[in-house]
Amino acid sequence: MTPKGVTLNTNSHKIKFARRFIRTLLKMRKNAPSSSSIEEIRKRSQRIKIAAYSSMAHAVGSRRAWSRAILFKLRNRARHHGMMRRRSMKKRVIKNDPPGDQSQTNKLRQLVPGGKAMDMCSLLEETAHYIRSLSTQVKVMQTIADHFSK
């Protein structure tokens, strides 16, 4: 489905992501407060999700705009952890798109991290890379889940 160079590239990302993600999971397991209220479970799964995204972003590195955006967001979140939830940030939306598919482009901008500040060309490029990494992430997580639940 994907060309040869791409799979090779994603393979190294895959290994890096898997290592990092499993390390985080083990850390969570070690100091997990073993309570089973719904709120706790939701919080923990949320944390695992964030860990998955951040592991992928770390694995990709800061070369890509979307991973940079994720890393930046995580860093900001860590800094403002105990503070107020979220201030309304100024959005930099570049408006040189054709008016036909404006809504879809905006939707795509919201989906791809860091996509609000991109023009159309780089948005599409980042989307391609993001999709690749996201599918890798899903596969790895699936494999880990299967492996653990055996």
Partner 1 sequence: MDPPLVSESSFSAANPAAYSLDELWPFGGSEPGTGSLGLRMGNLGPNPNGFAESSGNRDGSAEESTVTEQSGGGGGGRKKRKEVSSEDESSKMVSTSSANDLLSESNGKRMKVAGSCVDNDGSKAEVEASSAADNKPAEGSTQPSEPPKQDYIHVRARRGQATDSHSLAERARREKISERMKILQDLVPGCNKVIGKALVLDEIINYIQSLQRQVEFLSMKLEAVNSRMGMNPVMDGFPPKDLGSHQFDASGMIFGSQSMGEYAQSSQPEWLHMQVGGSFERAT
CA atoms within 13 A on the CB side of 30: 6
Q: Does 37 bind partner 1 (CB under 8 A)?
A: no
Amino acid identity at 99: P
Kindly state whether residue 11 participates in binding partner 1, applying the rule CB under 8 A. Answer: yes
Q: Which of 46, 54, 55, 57 has its CA nearest to residue 130? A: 57
Taking the complex as a whole, the smallest distance from the CB of residue 84 to partner 1 amounts, in Å, to 25
Does position 67 bind partner 1 by CB under 8 A? Answer: no
Structure tokens at 124: 């599409």
User: Phi first, then psi: what are they for 123, rounded to 5°?
Assistant: -60, -45
Contact range with partner 1 by CB under 8 A, out of 41-49, 63-71, 80-88? 41-49
Interface with partner 1, residue 80, by CB under 8 A: no
How far does Cα 131 stand from its chain's mean position? 10
Q: Is residue 81 a contact point for partner 1 (CB under 8 A)?
A: no
Written as one letter, the residue type at 58 is H
Q: Would you count residue 147 as binding partner 1 (CB under 8 A)?
A: yes
Report the distance separating Cα 21 and Cα 105, nearest Å. Answer: 31
Q: How far is the CB of 66 from partner 1 (least distance, A)?
A: 11
Separation of alpha carbons 122 and 87, rounded Å = 27
Q: How far is the CB of 83 from partner 1 (least distance, A)?
A: 25
Q: Does 7 help bind partner 1 (rule: CB under 8 A)? A: yes
Q: Restricting to residues 105-134, which ones interact with partner 1 according to CB under 8 A?
A: 105, 107-108, 111-112, 120-121, 124-125, 127-128, 130-132, 134
